[in-house]
Amino acid sequence: MIGIAALWISVLLLGGGVALDRVLADAVTRNFDDGMNYVLTAMIAAAEIGPDGEVLFNRALADQRFLEPNSGLYYQVSARGHEDWRSRSLWDRALKVPQEHADRNFHVYDSKQFPGEDLRIMERTVILPGSDTRWMFMVAQAREGLDAQIKTLRTTLFHSFAMLALGLIVLATLQTIYGLRPLRKVRQEIVRMRTGEKSRVTEPMPAEVLPMVEELNALLAHNERQAEEARTHAGNLAHALKTPLTVIMNAATAQAADLGETVIREATTMRRQVDHHLARARAVGRRGAAQSRAEVWASLQAVERAVQRLYPEVRIDMDGDKIAAVRVERQDLDEMLGNLIENAAKYGGGSVFTTVGRAGTMVEIVVEDDGAGIPETERVRIFDRGVRLDSGKPGTGLGLAIVRDVAEIYGGSVALEESEDLGGLLARLRLPAA
């Protein structure tokens, strides 16, 4: 950042300095030329033709440098067939008469015709009253004074712009260092968190950096929640497997007569627990995918076909928003809908009705059946793992628990109510809309 700022400042000041140098140098040169133009005009105004056809001045020119030899200010009047009339300052030298200029316009140019003395020459061709001769009036002045002024101007510009560039670069450097200081503070805070001194960035930060710090703290909190969920998940699984393993070990140690039945029963319980925790772990692993998206209607159609093959006597109807999508992986959505619709088909009276709608930022999926329903006092307990109100039908008692856990992982919810239309159970699944 400092290097780019220094380069940009240098380029801009260089371009500005060159442009300003040209403008001021041209202004000084024009002022110099205006002085010579004034002298040349005065010469022409004072010139007249003498009795022998020569040019005379009816009044003396005011500048005394014309009388001092090699003073740096000269004039000369020339014409073809006439002797040049030169100022005393030229002494034994003469100005070269240009052949390419033969009009009445002013012409100004630089010349090196005098060794060691650069000249600025202004000339004009004039026909004086009483004469048909074309007279070339010339004024020459040494460039030494003009070049000295331009040099002083350029030196002043260079030093001024150099100081300005240095000041701006120092300012940009300080601004960059000071502006990036909060990022160094954030880095130091992260080092303290890595070494265990802190768990969050708590130092006050400027408003420009505060959103990043808040996101960082939110990310840390999210990771802590995931780690806590993983620990809880592992503890729950260990606790769920510990009891069946203890029963099997005790039965094996005692060489119980029903050891085989005990192993089968407890192994089924352990498999049920493992399936539940694997489903939850898969959902947790996929939750972080920001691009998760599933079409609800397509998932419902797939589940309806699968459940219809298991329970061909059950009628399953669907209605509602056919373009709704949720921020859930398709596999997890299929599993939640499959559990709800399969339960409705299994425990209902032969009719299942599913509705899809929107509720703010959520998509609401309602599954109703015409069965006996669930008493209100049991609707919370039924979500516990392994709880089954009807043990006469096959099942593991984990369906609703899996639906609840997976829905909560994605920021949704599931609730049980009484169906007003069919009279049975109503399951209301709410998931974030995509």
Beta bridge partners of 352: 316, 369
Q: What pLDDT, on a 0 to 100 scale, did the predictor assign at position 233?
A: 67
Select from 338, 363, 330 the least CA-distant residue to 430.
363
| pLDDT (tens digit per residue) in 39-65 | 999 999 898 888 878 888 888 888 899
Which of 75-89, 122-136, 273-287, 295-309 shows the lowest mean pLDDT across its residues? 273-287
Q: What is the pLDDT of residue 12?
A: 94
Task: Report helix, strand and coil shares of the chain as percent, to nearest 5.
Answer: 50, 20, 30
Highest mean pLDDT among 61-75, 236-250, 253-267: 61-75
Largest CA distance in the chain: 160
Q: What's 356's DSSP letter? A: E
What is the CATH code for 2-150? 3.30.450
Domain 294-432 top-level CATH class: alpha beta
**Cα 411 vs. chain centroid, distance in angstroms?**
30
Within this chain, domains 2-150 and 294-432 share the same CATH topology: no
Q: What is the pTM of this model?
A: 0.50
What does the mean pLDDT of the chain come to? 86
Instruction: Please state, in angstroms and as integers, the Cα–Cα distance from residue 48 to each residue in 12, 127, 155, 315, following that order.
Output: 56, 10, 46, 127
pLDDT at 397 over 60: no
DSSP output for 282-306: HHHHHHT-TT--EEHHHHHHHHHHH
- Is 114 strand, coil or helix? strand
Angle of the 330-347 helix axis to the 296-310 helix axis, nearest 10: 40
**Where do the structural domains in the chain lie, given as residue ranges?**
2-150, 225-287, 294-432
Q: How large a percentage of the chain has pLDDT more than 90?
A: 43
Residue 282 burial class via C-beta count within 10 angstroms: exposed 0-12, middle 13-18, buried 19 and up: middle
pLDDT score for 271:
80
